[in-house]
């Protein structure tokens, strides 16, 4: 056994395993903007409950959950943008880039605010993405 092989085996034993992250281990072809929409609706509902409460602890918990759900929404948008939509879709629907940019911007803003108008804008963008998505599925 060569020295290089021994070093690689030693490194494999000493270093922690690396983790890969993906929507699927295999491109499954199962995509639906409904996942992002459900998360966005949850963000809006959490904001409404947060704003209606005067309980400091409840509001703090709601903020933490809202940040997590906003990140999940962003993740679902990423899956659609990077894995489903193709350059051919972008040619046919040139507004896609701006729709995704705005939606992802709103997920980021939703983490920092409890303004329901931000969630409404996010939902509007997702509705437009959803409409185009289903047109591409025909």
pLDDT digits (tens, 9 = 90+) for 23-37: 454 566 779 999 999
SS3 (DSSP) at 45 = helix
The answer to whether the beta carbons of residues 50 and 60 sit under 8 Å apart is: no
Give the pLDDT score at 49. 97
The domain 33-136: what is its CATH number? Answer: 1.20.120.400
Q: How many angstroms separate the CA atoms of 34 and 119, rounded?
A: 15
Alpha helices in 2-115 (DSSP H): 3-14, 34-52, 56-79, 87-92, 96-112
Give the pLDDT score at 138. 81
> Has residue 48 got a pLDDT over 90?
yes
pLDDT digits (tens, 9 = 90+) for 50-106: 999 999 999 999 999 999 999 999 999 999 999 999 999 999 999 999 999 999 999
Radius of gyration (C-alpha) of the chain in whole angstroms? 20
Domain map of the chain by residue range? 33-136
Give the pLDDT score at 62. 96
Give the pLDDT score at 72. 95
Give the pLDDT score at 27. 61
Which pTM does this prediction carry?
Answer: 0.79
DSSP-derived secondary structure letter, 16: P
Give the pLDDT score at 66. 96
Q: How many angstroms separate the CA atoms of 22 and 131, rounded?
A: 25
Give the pLDDT score at 84. 92
Q: How many angstroms separate the CA atoms of 131 and 138, rounded?
A: 11
């Amino acid at each position: 056994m060569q020295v290089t092989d021994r070093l690689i085996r030693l490194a494999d034993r000493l270093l922690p395993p690396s983790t890969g992250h993906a929507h699927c281990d295999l491109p499954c072809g199962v995509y639906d903007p409904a996942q992002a929409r459900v998360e966005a609706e949850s963000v809006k509902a959490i904001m409404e409950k947060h704003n209606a409460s005067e309980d400091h602890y409840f509001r703090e918990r709601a903020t933490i959950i809202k940040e997590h759900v906003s990140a999940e929404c962003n993740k679902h948008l990423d899956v659609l943008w990077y894995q489903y939509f193709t350059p051919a879709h972008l040619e046919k629907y040139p507004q896609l880039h701006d729709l995704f940019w705005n939606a992802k911007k709103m997920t980021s803003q939703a983490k920092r605010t409890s303004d329901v108008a931000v969630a409404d804008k996010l939902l509007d963008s997702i509705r437009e993405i959803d409409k185009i998505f289903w047109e591409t599925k025909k």
